Amino acid sequence: MTASHGILSLSNDVLRDVLDHIDADPAESVGMDRRAYLSVESFRPPSPPSPSRSLLIRNVRLTCRRFADLGAPYQFTRVTTRFSHAGFDRLENIASRPHLAKHTKKFSYLIPDFYRTGRDKVRELIEQFPPNGSTPSRTYLNPAHFKDKARAQRQIVENGYDLRALKKAMSAFRSLQHVQILRLQDEPDRCLSDYIQGDPEQFLQLVDLDWGLACAHALKTVGEALLDSHSSFSRFSGPMMRPDGALALAKSVPQNARFLAERLTCLELHFEDGPELQDRMIGLSPFFKHVFTAARNIQALHIGFPSRQPLRIPLEVLFHEIYWEKLRAFGVQAWRLDAVEIINFARRHRRTLRGLRLRDVLLLQGSYWRDVLHMLREEMDVLEWVSLRRIDYSNHFDDLWFGTMEVPDYPPSESDSDDQQSFHRNVDMENSDWDEDSDDQSDADSDHGPDANDIALSPDTPASLPFCTCFQNAFPTSALEIGDNGLTVYQEQRKMWEKWVIGRCPEHGHA
């Protein structure tokens, strides 16, 4: 009788099926113009660490050489690196092993705020905090922690340790597709930042946590490493960008930015609020023209801003009337626009655009949403979905928040949901090998809720919902009947409008 070898007798295909159930790549088979492709890995904040999943993969690889080879793609398809000596040591260690580095498709770079000024006065700052009451634990406000962190940052930058590790890694990651830059803020930095915001004039004389400087440094070094390695990457996402970081990149390596743009098929940028956001974006106009003109292969593009701070600049200040012949999904967020601006952009891409996302877009006085929707319904040849979450009119938005101290990331709504999440969440992970969960479906019933602020070029009403207008006589037959009063937009309206625009019956082939 032949002895059974248990699991070792299984074929590699069966073992891969088992590993797929443990840690499959959620975006592997999702089209670029669908929701999951853009939300799963780009703008959805990382999920908390899942020790059981990552530990199980590690344990599988420790079993024997065969299992080590089978498990390598699952452990190293996504590599995450912190801006720290330990992080770069680990990155170089992976890059030094071609049999592991060859599997990496996505690289996430976690970089903290830089200590820009007053590094030697941190102790003086800490001593000003009251010893009890609402003060965070002094464990988080240990002067030695901040001094050591500031010293480590200076050493890494001055010695070029980060650039060396990044160049080595980008050269080794021969299958790289996606590069992502994320802001990292640990609990001590968060406590310090809260106190700085409470009395900025006093505290900024002592210490300045500068994300703009860190963002600019990350963009510059990652860009240089990608160019030096002739990387095969084609997708870049930055959900926490600062305009001053992009401005620094524009001034330092403008030609390099063009070379990188030529490789892009997908670009997702969301800019954080900050001083003079609008003026800084206008200042970036030549840089965007330089980059977008070169990005001839772009298929998916998103540019967004904070919902509480919608921009009032013409759309073409950034897009320059450029036509991308391969563009399939396009999105903007938090913009005050005239209807004709949206119409002209969509009309320019009417033969290729399958998805259009207009989240938090506010129409200016004299414009009507019905004009935009009529054009989308009648002229877009291949449009499959349109996202209109929290669209409104500019005057109504301003009236809602007139006299308030601060406009939140979302305007008030008729929704009763209290489960509202701000997009601007920082990454705070103790283990850099987190697992990213899929977010295939949108919260279609609310303009708030868990998915309200996810940044994804995707339908807010899932395409899987049945929708047929063939025999629904009550459904609007023209834009004049959709109930647009030119003053405000309610949730029920925009959900109906999304369906009306794409109201083509998939079964019968007509609306």
Residue where a domain stops, chosen among 174, 204, 233: 233
Task: Note whether 182 and 85 are same-domain residues.
Answer: yes
Does 345 fall in a domain? yes
Residue where a domain stops, chosen among 233, 268, 303: 233
Q: Looking at residue 331, what DSSP letter applies?
A: E
pTM attached to this predicted model = 0.78
Does 66 fall in a domain? yes
Burial 302-338, CB ≥16 within 10 A → b, else e:
bbbbbbbebbeeebeebbeebebeebbbbbbbbbbbb
Residue where a domain stops, chosen among 198, 233, 268: 233
Residues 504, 511: contact at Cβ < 8 Å? Answer: yes
Does 243 fall in a domain? no
Q: Which of 382, 385, 417, 381 is nearest to 491 (CA)?
A: 417
Amino acid, single-letter form, for residue 159 = N
Task: Note whether 321 and 459 are same-domain residues.
Answer: yes
Task: Note whether 71 and 180 are same-domain residues.
Answer: yes
Task: Note whether 268 and 415 are same-domain residues.
Answer: yes
Does 266 fall in a domain? yes
pLDDT tens-place values along the chain, 511 residues long: 455 566 766 666 666 666 665 665 544 544 566 644 555 444 554 454 455 566 667 666 667 777 767 767 777 888 999 999 999 999 999 999 999 999 899 999 999 988 765 444 555 555 555 444 444 445 556 666 777 888 899 999 999 999 999 999 999 999 999 999 999 887 777 777 776 666 555 555 555 678 888 998 999 999 999 999 999 899 999 988 988 777 777 776 666 778 889 999 999 999 987 768 999 999 999 999 999 999 999 999 999 999 988 999 999 999 999 999 999 999 999 999 999 999 999 999 999 999 999 999 999 999 999 999 999 999 999 999 999 999 999 999 999 877 554 544 443 333 322 222 222 334 333 333 323 322 333 434 456 544 454 444 544 444 444 445 444 546 688 888 888 999 999 988 998 999 999 885 444 444 4
Task: Note whether 204 and 312 are same-domain residues.
Answer: no
Does 17 fall in a domain? no
Residues 142, 129: contact at Cβ < 8 Å? Answer: no
Range of the domain at 275: 30-46+250-511
Does 321 fall in a domain? yes
Per the structure, the count of domains in the chain is 2
Task: Note whether 37 and 54 are same-domain residues.
Answer: no
Task: Note whether 35 and 66 are same-domain residues.
Answer: no
- Phi then psi for residue 226, to 5 deg, are -65, -40
Residues 191, 140: contact at Cβ < 8 Å? Answer: yes
Task: Note whether 456 and 481 are same-domain residues.
Answer: yes
Task: Note whether 257 and 205 are same-domain residues.
Answer: no
Q: Which of 458, 450, 449, 441 is nearest to 491 (CA)?
A: 449
Task: Note whether 257 and 342 are same-domain residues.
Answer: yes
Task: Note whether 280 and 425 are same-domain residues.
Answer: yes
Does 16 fall in a domain? no
C-alpha distances (whole Å) from 451 to each of 74, 123, 281, 392 are 27, 41, 27, 19
Does 308 fall in a domain? yes
Task: Note whether 290 and 215 are same-domain residues.
Answer: no
